[in-house]
């Protein structure tokens, strides 16, 4: 769904994947539920749309919609940093994330569709 700010129309979604330190398989049961709640809180606080989230035992998948003012690296920084801090303050067990992550973009149009659209524009301006 296309959203807007005062100066832009946008549909930006990011697929973010990251892992706990040492790739430990401990993101299960209560830890999983707690993290999902914290991820939703962070997105609400930062005006992001948490379209999907899946906490696996040894990694996390998030699908987040964001206005164009937020760089993907900033979103990852918020999600990982704030989630670890909140989790570790609230609960006795600890969560630590590695520094690495994956981020991919998604929207309503595929790369091929955009390339085709741009190619077709060449003859329209004359």
Q: Which tens digit of pLDDT belongs to each residue from 13-37?
A: 999 999 999 888 899 999 999 999 9
Mean pLDDT of 89-102: 95
The pTM of this model reads 0.86
Homologous superfamily of 1-121 in CATH? Transposase IS200-like (3.30.70.1290)
Q: Which residues contact 39 (CB under 8 A, 6 or more apart)?
A: 50, 53, 62, 79, 83
How many Å apart are CA 55 and CA 121, to the nearest integer? 42
Q: Is 115 exposed, middle or buried (0-12, 13-18, 19+ CB in 10 A)?
A: exposed
How many Å apart are CA 20 and CA 11, to the nearest integer? 29
What's the confidence (pLDDT) of residue 5? 86
- End-to-end C-alpha distance for the chain, whole angstroms: 32
Q: Is the pLDDT of residue 112 over 70?
A: yes
What's the confidence (pLDDT) of residue 1? 80
Instruction: List residues bridging with 97 in a β-sheet.
Output: 20
- The three-state secondary structure class of 81 is helix
What's the confidence (pLDDT) of residue 37? 98
What's the confidence (pLDDT) of residue 124? 58
- The three-state secondary structure class of 33 is helix
Q: Is the pLDDT of residue 125 over 60?
A: no
Own/partner long-range contacts of 34-37 (Cβ < 8 Å, ≥24 apart): 34/87, 34/90, 34/91, 35/60, 35/83, 35/87, 35/95
pLDDT in tens, 36-74: 999 999 999 999 999 999 999 999 999 999 999 999 999
């Amino acid at each position: 769904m296309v959203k807007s700010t005062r100066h832009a129309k946008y549909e930006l979604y990011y697929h973010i994947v990251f892992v706990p330190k040492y790739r430990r398989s401990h993101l299960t049961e209560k830890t999983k539920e707690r993290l999902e709640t914290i991820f939703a809180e962070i997105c609400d606080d930062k005006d992001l749309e948490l379209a999907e989230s899946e906490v696996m035992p040894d990694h996390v998948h998030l699908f987040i919609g964001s206005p164009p003012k937020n760089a993907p690296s900033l979103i990852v920084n918020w999600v990982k940093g704030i989630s670890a801090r909140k989790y570790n303050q609230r609960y006795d067990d600890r969560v630590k994330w590695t520094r690495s992550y994956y981020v991919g973009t998604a929207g309503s149009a595929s790369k091929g569709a955009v390339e085709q659209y741009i190619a077709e524009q060449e003859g329209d301006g004359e």
